[in-house]
Every structure is written in structure tokens, then in C-alpha cells.
Amino acid sequence: MSIATKIADVYLRPPKSLVIPTYPGGRVEFHGGHAEIHDERNLLHILRRADAVIVPTNRYVDFFPKWIAQCGVFNPARATLELPDGITLSEDGTAILRTPQLPVGEAEPIAPLAAAIERARR
């Protein structure tokens, strides 16, 4: 028996409890406005809802451009996608963009301060 891996958390705005049928035999159950998605076939239906806020797990962030493209032109993705810090979606929704993160404890030098230190060292 395999354990299903969570793809994303989904929140409805405004919060409500309901069951959404997705594919034959599939459904997403919202309790208090929250549901977990474990099957990408369910995710495609939720991506098309304008009242959904999707928070993907870090493991599946890179798959979202593919899933957004699968929604198609006639029934496009309308959900809000909440990505982790440092990760954004490109303008056309076809790529994940990652902002380089500084190692913990290091900060970017302030330009005028760095220039003053360099002048003092000379």
C-alpha cells in the first residue's frame, strides 16, 4: 500500500464547505474552506476556479507551469497561486523563476558602505 503525497493545500475564498466532483470517481472535499490535493487530476479542476488559493508543497512547485498549460486556452487557470519566498511564476506562466538566496548569516553589503570600506583600506 502506498501513501499519497500531498501536492498542495487549497483554500476557498470565501471559506465554505463543499464537495467538488472532478473526474469520474474523483472529488475534492473542502471542510471550512480547506482541502488537500493528492492527485494532479483533481488539481486541474481546482486551477480553473477563480475562488481558489493554491499553496503548493516545495516538492511540486516545479510542476505547476505544466499543469497551468494543461488547463488550456478555452478554460484557463484562474486560481491564485501562493508560492514560497524567492520563487515566482513567469509572466506567461510557463516557467518557475528562483531568486538566489543568501546563506544564513550573510547579508548583501550596502553599496555606499562597501565603497567607504574599500577607500579606507587603500
Q: Kindly indicate the confidence band of residue 4, based on its pLDDT and cuts at 50, 70 and 90.
A: confident
- List all residues 6 or more positions away from 48 whose beta carbon is below 8 Å from its beta carbon: 71, 75, 76, 77, 78, 79
Q: Is residue 26 part of a domain?
A: yes
Of the candidates 38, 39, 30, the residue with the CA atom closest to the CA atom of residue 11 = 30
Give pLDDT, residue 1.
39
pLDDT tens digits for range 58-110? 889 889 989 988 988 888 989 999 988 778 887 777 777 777 665 555 555 55
* Separation CA 111–CA 47 (nearest Å): 43
Q: Is residue 1 part of a domain?
A: no
pTM: 0.74
Q: Is residue 3 part of a domain?
A: no
Q: Is residue 107 part of a domain?
A: yes
* Separation CA 95–CA 61 (nearest Å): 10
* Number of domains observed in the structure of the chain: 1
103's grid cell: 546563506
* Separation CA 4–CA 2 (nearest Å): 6
Domain assignment of residue 102, given as a range:
8-121
Q: Is residue 62 part of a domain?
A: yes
DSSP sequence for 56-100: E-GGGGGGHHHHHHHH-SSS---SEE-PPTTEEE-TTSS-EEEPP
Q: Is residue 2 part of a domain?
A: no
Main-chain dihedrals φ then ψ at residue 78, nearest 5 degrees:
-125, -5
pLDDT mean over 34-47:
93
Q: Is residue 71 part of a domain?
A: yes
